[in-house]
Amino acid sequence: MTLPVSTNAELVRGQAIEGLDRLPAFSPILNRLLAMVASDDVSFAEVAVLIENDAVLAGNVLRYVNSAQYGFQGTVNSVRHAVAILGVNTIRNVALSFSISRMWTHVRIPEPWSGAKFNVHSVATALLADLIAQRARAPYPEGAFVAGLLHDVGKLIIAVSFPREFGAIRNLCELTSRSELECEGELIGPTHAQLSGLALERWRLPRPIERAAACHHEPGEADAGRLHLAHIVRTADRLANELGYSVLEHPKSAEPSDSAWDALELGHCAQRILDEFQVEFELSRALF
């Protein structure tokens, strides 16, 4: 059961980077969508033109906007109309969710990895982070969705780079009830959160997003004494797990615990956030 821990941090980092490089490359469209997160002056025309260059993506965006939940009169039949109705951020987030989920669906990893659960958890965390960021006073709220979407990519890196250890980590968690971070630290050294930060740094995403992913289990390390995007991702991650949208098997809770909201002081609007999340999540989930 016990595996040797590498004492060579550079060797472990090298293995992780090799695994990262084996993941599917970002498409030009996905690269440009991610670049838009760092831009303050993106126009709806730019987003529409970009999405229109991918027929499958454009079709799913139109399917999203024409869902019964929105109840528009008539049919929205152009991406530009969809962007005008829902706004740049919403359409961009829909496109990012679909593009990332589609890309990682092609990664073949033996059990116990579940690509479906990973995608569901990532999108759920992203949506919750975005909704929370609209109400919390953390800097760089526009990065919350991407930080939530990519916060656990380190788990994917472990599954690809350290497949034997990945299975052992799962077994150790189940047998001992210890946290994933503790088990990862014992068996490979770096945690999935640290590897997520490494991935986002190599992908050259904005620093606040990289730090939010790297510190989403220890948000105080991102910016001691201040509210940081990492606090929002941590809360969103916990809520997604408590709602049953987890990469691991977590008992589903009908009502997320109050402690998930404590650091952000958002208990007064918790139910509204959850209600909005359920609507958006069911719409987004239909895309993958």
- Per-residue pLDDT tens digits for 110-156: 777 888 899 999 999 999 999 999 988 888 888 999 999 999 999 99
Average pLDDT, the chain: 85
Residue labelled with tokens 């695994």: 19
What pTM was estimated for this model as a whole? 0.89
Domains, the chain, with CATH or none: 1-8+110-288 (1.10.3210.10), 24-106 (no CATH)
Instruction: Please compute Rg for the chain using Cα positions.
Output: 19
pLDDT category, 213, cuts 50, 70, 90? very high
pLDDT attached to residue 115: 86
Kindly tell me if the per-residue pLDDT of 75 is higher than 70. Answer: yes
What's the mean pLDDT in 241-267? 70
Please tell me the predicted confidence (pLDDT) of residue 1. 34
Q: How many CB atoms lie within 10 A of CB 278?
A: 12
Q: What is the pLDDT of residue 265?
A: 74
What's the pLDDT at 3? 41
Q: Is the pLDDT of residue 35 over 70?
A: yes
Dig out the tokens for 9 from the structure: 């941090």
